[in-house]
Chains A and B, each alone.
Chain A
Amino acid sequence: MNFDLSDEQKMLQESARSCLAKEFPVTTTRKAAESLTGYPEELWKKMADLGWLGLALPESYGGLGLGFVDLAVVLEEMGRELTPGPFFSTVVLAGLTLADAGSAEQKKLWLPRIASGGAKGTFAWVERSGEWDGGALVTAARRAGGKYVLNGTKYFVTYAHVADFILCLARTGKALTVFLVDAKAPGVKVEPMAIMDSSRRVSKVEFRNVAVGPRDVVGKPGAGAPIAEGVLSRACVAMAAEMAGGAQRVLEMSIEYAKARVQFGKPIGSYQAIKHKCSNMILEVESARSAAYYSAWANQEGSPDVVEVSSIAKAYASEAYRKVTGEAIQLHGGIGFTWEHPLHLYFRRAKFSELMFGDPAFHRERMLRAVEKSAA
């Protein structure tokens, strides 16, 4: 048993940290939020150059063939600086799903382009009901001759406004099927949505009589449910890693402030009320990190407890991140409540991450069902 990063992974961590802190710190996230796409183009180019986009994609399709743990390392660092952009959508939601369940043709067409930075993808899941349970979905693909006609509206589709293709989870009769849809196809309408987290872009995507062929089915028709489970588990782990990184950064800011800020003649960090707050924060941050990495490993190895541990990571890290950012604002006092201080950006991101892909209560239920299933 060994629960530590390898030397190579530690090097990756260091280089990612210094690159992001130096070239794309949280201040650039702020500026990018006002831009049209929501992220600087040179960031995307840099990620391609550093090999991050193909890090966890198979070597046969232009990737580096590394594992989910390596990916988690990079995601954790992005979480520290609230790195904006379609990395999560393109790599975690689209790329890994195609690598996992796509046809040879789909992989050949898209994976090398993802790895090189030449294509972006995303995954369209939740609808107006706001429910992440597959049973609640009404977007449907009707068979018409040898083709399908897709109709429905998806919400909170991350970075759909810059995507080249969208993986869409839709109903085919009673079952679910995942379709690969060209974002420019007739009948696809992408409309950016306003959300309280400005470091992430999401869109409403309308599919109106969109024609998709049998070659655009990901996996087999009707096999969408297990594919979606995989997407959800990977999304959980990726977000948990990002959240652990963000929470760690916020903890560091808080400790620095608690040492520097003097009131009643002493640094506020010498008072037990502050010490105990900080102590609770590190407990939550480190525990979130343990859960993120254990579940990354479980995904990488295809361990039988993937669903269970991914949901634990998502549920725990979400609550930890929300609490830690909230406590950090409290600890910073007035300055923490200003627009100028970056803390509210983390506080906003924490809530986004908590609610996207299922809230903690949803994941506790998902986890418990997986536990009951494996015990039966």
Chain B
Amino acid sequence: MDFKDTPEEAKFRAEIREWLRKNAPKGKRPGGAWTGSLIGEDSLKFHKDWQKKLYEGGWAAVAWPKEYGGRGASLMEQVIFYEEMARACAPSVVNVIGIALVGPVLIGHGTEEQKQRFLKPILSGDMIWSQGFSEPNAGSDLASLSTRAVLEGDHFVVNGQKVWTSFGTIADWILLLVRTDPSAPKHRGISCLLVDLHSPGVTIRPLVQMTGDAEFSEVFFDNVRVPQQNLVGALNDGWSIAIATLMHERGGVAVAIQVQIEQVLSSLFDLARRTGKNGRSAMEDPRIRQELARCYAEVQIARWNGYRSLTKIVKDGMPGPEGSFGKVFWTELNQRMQELALNLSGVFGLVPSGDPLTVDSGRWVYGYLRSRGNTIEGGTSEIQRNIVAERVLGLPKG
């Protein structure tokens, strides 16, 4: 047991820290940038410029193998990368789906031609990706998806609808799960396609969520023709790719999430320090102190659980039981932190962004609303708890 960097890890940390010191953007950022939101032209351009800088510095996808433009970073080095990004308050990566999900899938399952064509623009942020998995009737039960793809000559013809597509309005391409064999058992008739969202027959409708933003979209496919060479992996073998993708999502994203909740915690403490409560600073109110301390403790515990999980992945290739409930842990913790922030501000906590009376540019109003989605997207808390009970604890299926 040792929580200090090894000499190699220390070297990697020094390198990224120095690069960020020279290159991380300083000064005011466009509205919405504190949430990593890409909504609005200013924010999108800001993030795209940052992505280009990361790309030029060779830091756009540290986890990818060197031959594909990454750094071949170990999991520990990825953690260090995210820790240093957070320490420098650097903006998030714009093409997160491309880098965290699509790239690794192509590196693992793609053809040589697909790798040549897609990997570089994913890294540079010139080709923004989205992920077309969920459908109106396939949420928690993803394998029951019904978007159809029929092979006609050398093209697939795609018909159907996806929903909750992140970055749909700004994306150029989509990693799409489609049903290619309706007669096969539901997990065996699914394939994975790379689809150009600028193709004829694609309609993208922004899906306005309860925050009032449209972070997600509904994507409709009406006889969309997709060249056969855009099939990833074998025909009808898409489910294993979907699972691999979700593994990437849960592994890589977990590290980035830890950084985000640490930033929320730090902003929450800042807010408490400058907020008055009952005639004194909120930091002197014993009840608020208890709540802040509880949040602080749980953020540290989330980090330690993450460290255990990473150690286990490095050694055995699989996380231990502590890796299985990470999402439930952070999403519920985040909801409590957002709520505490709003309560700290009292009635002024109700004023949204854009109003001069708002607190912290409206981030807490946004966060309070947005955090309700966290316990639903990417597997609801209920599904997560079922998975833990069945796969980790071995309880019988219902």
Contact = CB atoms under 8 A, between A and B. Distances in A.
Contacts of B2: 1-2, 297
Most buried by A among B1, B328, B395: B1
Interface stretch (B129-137, B235-243, B293-301, B346-354): B293-301
Nearest to B297: A312
Interface stretch (B40-48, B87-95, B305-313): B305-313
Nearest to A255: B393
Nearest to A69: B1
B311 A1 contact: yes
A258 B389 CA distance: 11
B398 A364 contact: no
Given A282-B325, A291-B301, A365-B289, A1 B393 contact: no
B220 interface: no
Contacts of B385: 275-276, 279-280
A312 B304 CA distance: 12
A4 B395 contact: no
Interface in A243-267: 255, 258-259, 266-267
A279 B328 CA distance: 10
Given A279-B388, A293-B1, A365-B286, 18 more contacts: A1-B3, A1-B310, A3-B3, A9-B1, A270-B397, A272-B386, A275-B395, A276-B386, A276-B389, A283-B325, A286-B308, A286-B325, A287-B329, A290-B301, A291-B300, A312-B300, A364-B289, A364-B290
17 contacts: A1-B307, A1-B310, A2-B2, A3-B304, A270-B397, A270-B398, A274-B395, A275-B395, A286-B305, A286-B321, A290-B305, A290-B308, A290-B322, A297-B2, A312-B301, A361-B290, A367-B293
A5 B2 CA distance: 10
A1 B321 contact: no
Interface in B267-294: 283, 286, 289-290, 292-294
A6 B289 contact: no
A279 B391 CA distance: 11
Q: How large is the interface on A (under 10, 10 to 19, 20 to 34, 35 or more residues)?
A: 35 or more
Most buried by A among B79, B294, B297: B297
Contact of A368 (B289, B301, B307, B393): B289
B297 A367 contact: yes
Main secondary structure of the interface of B (DSSP, over half): helix
Most buried by A among B4, B79, B390, B396: B396
B76 interface: yes
A259 B396 contact: yes
A368 B315 contact: no
B253 interface: no
Contact of A4 (B4, B312, B386): B312
B356 interface: no
B152 interface: no
B153 interface: no
Contact of B386 (A2, A275, A361, A368): A275
Contacts of A87: none
Contact of B396 (A269, A279, A312, A371): A269
Interface string B1-31: 1111110010000000000000000000000
Interface of A: 1-6, 9, 69, 255, 258-259, 266-267, 269-272, 274-276, 278-280, 282-283, 286-287, 289-291, 293-294, 297, 309, 312, 315-316, 361, 364-365, 367-368, 371-372
Interface of B: 1-6, 9, 76, 79, 283, 286, 289-290, 292-294, 296-298, 300-301, 304-305, 307-308, 310-312, 315, 320-322, 325, 328-329, 382, 384-386, 388-390, 392-398
Contacts of B315: 4
Contacts of A293: 1, 304
A315 B2 CA distance: 23
B394 A259 contact: yes
Most buried by B among A3, A269, A276, A361: A3
A270 B394 CA distance: 10
A278 B393 contact: yes
B292 A1 contact: no
Contacts of A269: 389, 395-396
Contacts of B394: 255, 259
A270 B395 contact: yes
A4 B311 contact: yes
A272 B398 contact: yes
Contacts of A9: 1
A191 B203 CA distance: 81
A279 B395 CA distance: 10
A270 B297 contact: no
Nearest to A292: B304
A3 B4 CA distance: 10
Given A1-B311, A3-B311, A282 B388 contact: yes
A297 B294 contact: no
Contact of B328 (A255, A270, A283, A312): A283
A76 to B, nearest CB: 13
Nearest to B390: A275
A359 to B, nearest CB: 11
Most buried by A among B308, B384, B397: B308
B382 A276 contact: yes
